[in-house]
Amino acid sequence: MKTETSENKLCPSSTAHEGAVLLGVVQGDQTVALLNAGLLADASFIAKVEEEGHPEKRFRFADKCVKSGCKQWTGTKCGVIKELAEYNPHLDGMDHSIPECIIRHRCRWFSQEGNKACMICPYVITDNLADI
Ligand code: SF4
């Protein structure tokens, strides 16, 4: 049986590309509604959202965490959720409900920061992360 290891985690803020999992949709209030079914983005979906422009401002995608192949990797962790967790110390120890999520068992952010990552996650828009 395959076990979940650090090597097969998923990045919950991946780019829009064929084969990525469509994880969530950005709402009018700029929060992300996570989907309750894992939809794989196929070529026609990607072509359509790219034609409409800025897919990572409108959707969240998940795909394999490539660790050192990503500029956000610190060498040991995902720097995105590490920094967002550090910016939000008030969430430490909070007993706050977290959204249902189809990738939690493999999510890099959850494996790194636990429930705190899931409290932050609905406020993350991938296309706004460039400066982090
Ligand atoms: S941080 Fe939490 S809610 Fe967001 S994708 Fe990972 S497991 Fe799901």
Q: In the numeric block, which tokens belong to residue 1?
A: 């049986």
Q: Where along the chain do its domains lie? A: 9-128
Q: Which residue has the tokens 């969240």?
A: 60
Query: What are the distances in angstroms from CA 108 to CA 11, 42, 55, 58, 115?
Result: 6, 23, 22, 21, 12
pLDDT for position 6: 61
Find out whether the beta carbon of 125 lies less than 6 Å from any atom of ligand 1. Answer: no
**H or E, element range at 95:** none
122 touches ligand 1 (CB under 6 Å): no
Q: What is the pLDDT, as a whole number, of residue 2?
A: 47
Closest protein CA for atom 2 of ligand 1: 118
Instruction: Report the pLDDT averaged over residues 102-122.
Output: 97
Give me the chain's average pLDDT, please: 92
Structure pTM? 0.91
In the numeric block, the tokens 């890099």 are attached to: 108
User: What is the per-residue pLDDT across 20-40, written as a single tens digit (0 to 9) for each?
Assistant: 999 999 999 999 999 999 899
